[in-house]
Amino acid sequence: MASRHVTKRAKYKTTIKDPGTPGTLRLTLEKILFVPHNPKSAGKLDVEFRFIKGQKHTKEGSNKPPWLNLTNNQNGSFIFEFENYSDLQYCRDFVGKVLAKSGEVSEKPTVTYPDEQLSAAEMELRIKLLQEDSELQKLHKQFVLSDVLTEAEFWATRKKLLDTEANKKTKQRLGFKSAMISDIRPSTDGRTNKVTFNLTPEIILQIFAEKPAVHRAFLSYVPNKMSEKVFWTKYFRAEYLHSTKNSIAAAAEAAEDEELAVFLKLDDILASEARWKIRRVDPTLDMEADEGDDYTHLPDHGIFRDGSKDMTESQNELYRRTLSQDINRHAAVVLEGRAVDVDLDDTRAVAEALAWSKQESSTKRESDGDTNQERLARVSRMTEIEDLQGPNNLPSAPLCIKDPRDYFDSQQANALRTSGDALGRTEQIKCSLSTQEVYGSLRQSISVIKAMGLKDPIVKPEVAHQVFDALTNSISTTKYHIGKNPHESVLDRLPKKTKDELLHHWTSILELLKHFWASYPITTSYLYTKVNRLKDAISNIYPQLEEIKGSVPSELRHQVSLLVHPMLQALDAAIQHYEADMQKRSTGSVDKPNGYV
């Protein structure tokens, strides 16, 4: 840590109204010490940091003097008035760090006590964010706790996360997997005929949701009538019978074992559910109503076998279940989304929670009277011809991409395949412009806008499209140029440790550079110190990157250095800028006699 203590002139106030006792404030890692200039005055203070719960301060630019307010755990507070804001900031950061440390010491999960005027809710939110996102936590640990960034700086670039409104949106509910549960393939040991199924609570929940009869059977049989293991064995036996597509064998087995029959029979709960659901479907696709109106297809009327219709075997209907039904059912369940939000470790609990949520929805179903209205609205939307009338404002949901990396990776594969040659072209377009030319073109476009007004698309669609293409193409180009198949990336071929390290370095470098460039132009001494701190951190990264390069096997070294290269470039640019700036400062410092760098 840079400094182990801070000493500043300040006034100590017991209340806001108090004119304050002038004195010296000394902050160490353990204690807050205030000694009045006048030894006789009663304002002497000696408080240990572990009693301090949080801090508040006034903001630069507000009319208030620079105050720092430390609250202790008895809801008391100590107010200090500083001579200027930079002193305040310095102390504030110090306190923040110490508080963060003490938080760690007291065995809480990597938590910091925030330093601005934070309510308890905001604090909790930050803690929660850190807990949820391990990457963020890593960054936080690396920079804030090692003093490269302050708490406030760190969060300032993540206002979006802190915005509770946005936060609600980002929290996506986890849905069911797209893969079918019939894809659970058993594993065999290769010697005996035994197969083993691995059931996770996640899969069980999905089975319950897709097959209500199994769910009901589970609730009534387990654990009174049979053990859970027996239950699932029977279930998979039934699944196996289905997969053989031998409905006669299924019927025979079901006749012998009534519990097994439960799994083999068509699901009666589904059938009854279908009956009430059919009343709510969009009338413009209600084919069931057609059936009810179709007098040419009276049984045995019309043409029965003219080659346009298909034959189906109708034996053992009861035990016949088609793949199509399974697929439809699965897709419907995925679409409905997960109704339960419980910890998935106990099958019984899962089953009960699902039963409960179903009950709830069925009571809701009885009480809804606006379905008719909704149906009518849907019909009228389906019938209107859009382009013959004014636009209709359709409801829209904001796009929420949880992990942009995934998104771009998937786009990359497509973009590359479709426009392999587009990449070559865009590179040729690249040309160097002088500052004057750029300035000139900017002025020109501004004057055009002034004359013509701002047209609706600010950027021409073609240009935007080109940029977007180039971006998706080049964002992780190397990955795909080298990967043998477009779905396998270079990163996946690296050892996991190296891959993680590389990714981590990327994010941390991005974080540092973001702060670094945001600090220019340096207008306050605060920014000046910040830039220095950042520069130190940046220069520390170089050896680490070299180390990664050295650690990988030689055949991958080229790949890694390709990946590391842009990082180095970015860092170099930052350092260069820093040095140039420093040089300018040292020559120009004569012009600023007040010493204010």
Positions touching other proteins (CB under 8 A) are 178-180, 183, 274-275, 277-278, 281-313, 322-325, 327-328, 331-332, 334-335, 372, 375-376, 379-380, 382-390, 397, 414, 418
Q: Give least dist CB 563 to other proteins, A.
A: 26
The span from the CA of 578 to the CA of 516, in Å, is 9
> Across the strands, what pairs with 9?
24
Lookup: tokens for 496:
């996991």
Q: If we measure between CA atoms, which residue out of 122, 115, 123, 121 comes closest to residue 58?
A: 115
Q: Give least dist CB 404 to other proteins, A.
A: 17
DSSP 388-435: GSPPP---------S-HHHHHHHHHHHHHHHTHHHHHHHHHH-----H
Q: Give least dist CB 418 to other proteins, A.
A: 8
The span from the CA of 381 to the CA of 15, in Å, is 64
Exposure of 469 in the CB half-sphere (CA atoms within 13 A)? 19
User: Between residues 224 and 380, which has the closer beta carbon with respect to other proteins?
Assistant: 380
The span from the CA of 138 to the CA of 136, in Å, is 5
User: Between residues 186 and 566, which has the closer beta carbon with respect to other proteins?
Assistant: 186
User: Between residues 289 and 438, which has the closer beta carbon with respect to other proteins?
Assistant: 289
Computed over its alpha carbons, how large is the radius of gyration of the chain? 34
User: Between residues 1 and 327, which has the closer beta carbon with respect to other proteins?
Assistant: 327
Q: Give least dist CB 174 to other proteins, A.
A: 14
The span from the CA of 565 to the CA of 558, in Å, is 10
User: Between residues 313 and 370, which has the closer beta carbon with respect to other proteins?
Assistant: 313
Q: Give least dist CB 151 to other proteins, A.
A: 37
Q: Give least dist CB 460 to other proteins, A.
A: 18
Q: If we measure between CA atoms, which residue out of 461, 474, 458 comes closest to residue 425?
A: 474
Lookup: tokens for 274:
């279908």
Lookup: tokens for 14:
């017991």
Q: Give least dist CB 288 to other proteins, A.
A: 5
Q: Where are the alpha helices (DSSP H) in 456-553?
A: 461-474, 477-482, 490-493, 496-518, 525-551
Q: If we measure between CA atoms, which residue out of 533, 524, 528, 525 comes closest to residue 154?
A: 533
Q: Give least dist CB 383 to other proteins, A.
A: 4
Strand 77-82 and strand 67-72: the pairing is antiparallel
User: Between residues 229 and 364, which has the closer beta carbon with respect to other proteins?
Assistant: 364
User: Between residues 257 and 286, which has the closer beta carbon with respect to other proteins?
Assistant: 286
User: Between residues 243 and 445, which has the closer beta carbon with respect to other proteins?
Assistant: 243
The count of other CB atoms within 10 Å of the CB of residue 539 is: 13
User: Between residues 58 and 206, which has the closer beta carbon with respect to other proteins?
Assistant: 206
Furthest-apart CA pair in the chain: how many Å? 113
Q: Give least dist CB 489 to other proteins, A.
A: 16
The span from the CA of 284 to the CA of 293, in Å, is 15
User: Between residues 86 and 316, which has the closer beta carbon with respect to other proteins?
Assistant: 316
Q: If we measure between CA atoms, which residue out of 199, 225, 234, 233 comes closest to residue 350?
A: 199
Lookup: tokens for 465:
């499209």
Q: Where are the alpha helices (DSSP H) in 52-106?
A: 85-105
Q: Give least dist CB 185 to other proteins, A.
A: 11
Q: Give least dist CB 150 to other proteins, A.
A: 40
Q: Is 78 helix (H, G, I), strand (E, B) or coil?
A: strand
Q: Give least dist CB 313 to other proteins, A.
A: 7
Q: If we measure between CA atoms, which residue out of 378, 377, 250 comes closest to residue 318?
A: 250
Lookup: tokens for 428:
């040729």
> Across the strands, what pairs with 56?
69
The span from the CA of 591 to the CA of 404, in Å, is 47
User: Between residues 5 and 309, which has the closer beta carbon with respect to other proteins?
Assistant: 309
Q: Any idea how long the chain is?
A: 597
Q: Give least dist CB 156 to other proteins, A.
A: 33
User: Between residues 223 and 486, which has the closer beta carbon with respect to other proteins?
Assistant: 486
Strand 187-188 and strand 195-196: the pairing is antiparallel
User: Between residues 461 and 543, which has the closer beta carbon with respect to other proteins?
Assistant: 461
